[in-house]
Structure 1
């Protein structure tokens, strides 16, 4: 007779997945302000202690969901056509497309709120939007190709663009994507 009982690691993996799925679903539906560990536990069918065993806070849980692509499920690669300004503009338009999607601005505002509780969320946000990996790499290639000054602060440029995007989303007003595109054109024109 085969034992149907599943061992701890399998159950732990299933519980972890249920928690992350529930967190992403509730985050999208309710936003960060109304997201609670109790609500996540109920939605996932686990106890609060199970959640706290793996994550110290809801911010840390959001950070992991973000890092795994459960909140921003796109891979925003910066192209390399040889024209740095155009490549950054193409990436920026992709990011702005996320903001223009239904609830896109609310999602970004909730992620910023989560980042105030857990610094890892902010780092994961930059990673999810391709700032840390793709934009910074493309800017380094711009230096290599002579399209940026050799002393260009590529990390800070990427963060500054992300900051401008976040400020735009926090305004909750009708935003003007062309203003951000114009900013990047100014930054990368020679």
Structure 2
């Protein structure tokens, strides 16, 4: 038996996405084409275009299909430790091929293709941001963060330095860099000690005897 049509279709989809990642790693995103993917995967261009509207859409699905680490937050009761665990896993994913160079290429493609930008936000950026905000809210409710801290802003502050280094300076992301970000941020995000305000006049300085 050759399998059901549904299974054959799933196998063909998996083969196309795997080929996309292999070719993208070999020749780079700029030279990657639907024609090249079709030729190596043994599929027709029409088959690919029935599933994906563009090269960017195909790459997004291919990257999301990778069996990488789950970027979910643990909840040990220590927000800094849990953020460190999750962000270290994200940095490890971005440090290895083919994800790192192809993810950067996908972000570049999203600047020119609104459909790719919308799909990237809906399927990757927003879910990860929501996970971060949810974990921060739990920590705030437990008193580990300042009650007045803007959680959406906290998420942006956490991710901004990572994207800056990944996309702008293109320096290697490391665990040490993540730890420096967390150390710097939590000096400002931690709860402030309450200091009662006294309205009493300060004592007058003593006047030495003449």
TM-score bracket, shorter-length normalisation: 0.7 to 0.9
Residues 1:23 and 2:20 aligned together: yes
Deviations 1:28-84 (A, max 9, x none): 33332222111111121111111111111111112222333x2x6111232222221
Inter-CA distance 176–55: structure 2 relative to 1 (3 Å threshold): closer
* Higher RCO (C-alpha under 8 Å, 6+ residues apart): 1
- In the other structure, the counterpart of 2:52 is 55
Alignment of 1:89-108 (within 5 A): 89-101=84-96, 105-108=100-103
The match for 2:158 is 161
Distance 1:15 1:108, change over 3 A: closer
* 1:107/1:82 CA distance change after superposition, 3 Å: same
Q: Which residue of 2 aligns with 1:111?
A: 106
Quote how far apart the aligned CAs of 1:6 are.
6.3
Post-superposition offset of 1:104: 5.9
Whole-angstrom distance in 2 between the partners of 1:142 and 1:22? 42
For the residue of structure 1 that corresponds to 2:25, the secondary structure is helix
Distance 1:96-1:19 versus aligned 2 partners, 3 A rule: same
Contact 1:27-1:35 at 8 Å conserved across structures:
yes
The gaps in structure 2 that reach 5 residues or longer are: 191-210
- 1:25 deviates by 2.1
The correspondence for 2:181, drawn from 180, 183, 186, is 183
Change (3 A) 1:104 1:62: closer
Over aligned residue pairs, what C-alpha RMSD do you find?
Answer: 2.9
Identify the residue that residue 36 of structure 1 maps to in structure 2: 33
Give the Cα separation in 2 of the matches to 1:161 and 1:45. 43
* Match of residue 14 from structure 1: 11
Q: What SS is found at the alignment partner of 1:16?
A: helix
**Structure 1 segments unaligned to the other structure (5+ residues):** none
State how far apart, in whole Å, the 1-side matches of 2:172 and 2:151 are.
29
- Are the structure 2 counterparts of residues 42 and 86 from structure 1 closer, same or farther at C-alpha, using a change threshold of 3 Å? same
Paired with 2:122 and 2:158, the residues of 1 have a C-alpha distance of 14
1:78-157 matches, cutoff 5 A:
78-101=73-96, 105-116=100-111, 117=113, 118-119=116-117, 120-126=119-125, 131-132=128-129, 134-157=131-154
Max radius of gyration: which structure? 2
